[in-house]
Structure 1
């Protein structure tokens, strides 16, 4: 029998990092955690698995800037002996993660550079045109009704439809990819089948692009893979991760930004023909309501101290992106509308941050999608009180379950 995993020496009682409390406002939650535990919080993941949640801006900068001490290598984890085979977070932190997310050091830099090069070739104006076309198609489906759910009928399907096109999927594959990614996010009975569908779809696409290269991201990855010593199998895994990681956070960025604009009077002008505040709303969301709240993670290479805590070798460290963004030690009083200040952690930091071309792609998709909504749906308004809006009960990805709106019905773009 394997030896039991070591217990983490916490002191104060650890905080469950799951449950309904994550449906509430993040500012009050992280203030409470910081007040009770400081900048590094002892937490329990599903199944009472112990870890550390880093809320401090400076502490998180330290963790993400030191990949040798705070390693991305999950094989270091001292809790593996107690992790069951069906643990729900295994897809995120498995020691056998075959994608770029599971690589470290020079190997990670090679695969990340290949991805950045493939995404950099996406022409921004052309990308915007694709987003406008797909967004108009989605709005055409609801504009004559006078009511819609801007999450389920717009924000959720838009990013994956655009990304699928950029990667080289045929148009008819878009709806199936949307359904599969939603099933995986729900984590219910259909999740395993949905993941199998995605793997099969990715393998088929890579095989097609090897035979018939095109002007798409997957073809560019394959064309340059040899130069970066990346295999075809690795490309397949990375494309799947790019689609999954690019889809849901971007969808939540759209939904969270639209919610802010519909509930905060500062953005009222943008709802009636103006666009100047769209970028400000999106930036405020990245500071105050970021789609990726927490990330697992890093693993300590040796015993160390962080934020007054003693961490043992192999401890799991959760990156508290929203907690760091709201750290009062580095924030000025008042609104986060800081004239384009991008010093937030919403895209990560260090070697494993979201690649800059991927950030640009997500921003174009989100901003263009929001602008199409504002252009196409006159006198847009919430259909329910703001207090009735419901969030997913997740500590990882923060987004609305739905965003019901009403508006004056209008004709489809092609009518």
Structure 2
């Protein structure tokens, strides 16, 4: 592909037949949130493991949905770096393009730096996360989970998404970073607006950045036992903007995917008879349900992204220098070749964490962050089942709706009913 002329509207670049009007797949529409599994099967059959797609505004990109191709892209950071400054479409984008915050290549934080500079950021963030006590984390998760359940346990009904799955991760992560609990609702609204990529995305991005910039100032003046203070105390020098951007990456990447991990796992356990035993108070199926969700219903369906450092080929297509590649994590996890080669799909999933739900390679989610997300999700689900052992769906499973996004897959609401219980007032 070549970059469109400056005076043309963003669209399929000339000389790229794969992105012709009838060939490229728009990354929008109801099928991405009503039946993505069938959609991925259809586009895999039509295009193979790499799919020409169009982002909002007919901006061209490539969606990688083959497991082997995904491994190749994520394992070759020199060929496919996470350096959006390479993108050959920047000159075509309007300033109010809604996905601009998601792919902004002019930010010096952990998410878009490469090479030695990226490793410097990773080392600082990992060092700060290593200071998180597992015992203290579990205690905080249980305390906050109990507090949220106390707010609705006497009603006998609740929306698990709005009242539990969404607020729990942001509250835990806010405490880890040193933010007050009172900031959690506004942070939730901002992160959700960013993820949905709507008209309020740019305003949300501004609020998000400003609040974390103030957090850096606050912790420099009054450090505490939190991740932000440990980042500031790290022996290497970073700018305030770099600290702010690294905090943004931690909070944004940790909130909605963890909330959706909780919501999708609870939905699975309430609708699939294989996990019914967990609803009587047993916990042996919680890890299995969580792992199945990462394979079959992963919260992050598509991740932006990688950019080709030079001309190359992938999945039978010519990829030009500067082309954007979107990581189709859900598509790669469901690649039939991988499941067939491993035998029965159930046996392949159970206990196997070779999925791409946390991405992979040099730019994959840091292991410490994965552990924190797993602890929040597991503890949140376990406390919910302990407190509300007879919890059940309050509506037909067929009426449950997903967030209208090709990038993130989570429930918009999850109405449940249960026997009213007294609050415990924290543990």
TM-score computed with the length of structure 2 as normaliser: 0.92
Aligned residues of 1:161 and 1:178 also touching (Cα < 8 A): no
**Structure 2: segments with no counterpart, 5+ residues:** none
- Which of the numbers 284, 298, 302 marks the counterpart of 1:276? 284
> Using the alignment, how far apart are the partners of 2:87 and 2:183 within structure 1?
38
Residue 187 of structure 1, CA deviation: 4.6
In the TM superposition, 1:55-70 aligns within 5 A as 55-70=65-80
Contact 2:190 2:204 in 1 (8 A): yes
- Partners of 2:213 and 2:326 in 1: how far apart? 32
Residues 1:230 and 2:238 aligned together: yes
- Partners of 2:197 and 2:27 lie apart in 1 by 17
Deviation of 1:337 after TM superposition, in Å, equals 6.5
Partner of 2:259: 251
Query: Paired residue for 2:167?
Result: 157
Counterpart for residue 192 of structure 2: 182
**What do you get for the CA RMSD once the two structures are aligned?**
1.8
| Distance (whole Å) between structure 2 residues aligned to residue 315 and residue 192 of structure 1 | 24
Would the aligned equivalents of 1:283 and 1:337 in 2 still touch at CA under 8 Å?
no
Q: In the TM superposition, what is the alpha-carbon distance from 1:99 to its structure 2 partner? A: 2.3
How many angstroms does 1:188 deviate by? 4.8
Q: 1:406 aligns with which of 372, 395, 417?
A: 417
Match of 2:218 in 1: 208
Compute the displacement of 1:52 (Å): 0.9
SS in 2 for 1:305: strand
The CA deviation string for residues 29-76 of structure 1, in whole angstroms up to 9 with x for no partner, is: 211111111111111111111111111100111111111111211122
Q: TM-score, normalised by structure 1?
A: 0.95
Q: What are the Cα deviations for residues 196-249 of structure 1, in whole angstroms up to 9, with x where unaligned?
A: 33323212221121112111000000000x42x422321112112211111000
Paired residue for 1:286, among 289, 294, 304?
294
Aligned counterpart in structure 2 of residue 342 of structure 1, from 342, 346, 353: 353
SS in 2 for 1:351: helix
Q: Distance in 2 between matches of 1:356 and 1:125?
A: 17
Matched, 1:28 2:28: no
User: How far 1:195 sits from its partner (Å)?
Assistant: 3.1
Distance 1:406 1:155 in 2: 16
Q: Which residue matches 1:144?
A: 154
Query: What does residue 9 of structure 1 align with?
Result: 17
Q: What is the rounded CA distance, in whole Å, between the counterparts of 1:140 and 1:319 in structure 2?
A: 39
Distance across 1 between alignment mates of 2:190 and 2:324 = 30
State whether structure 2 residue 313 is matched by structure 1 residue 305: yes
Shift of the alpha carbon at 1:336? 6.1
CA distance in 2, matches of 1:172, 1:297: 33
Native 8 Å contact 1:252 1:398 kept in 2 = yes
1:364 Cα deviation from its structure 2 partner: 0.1
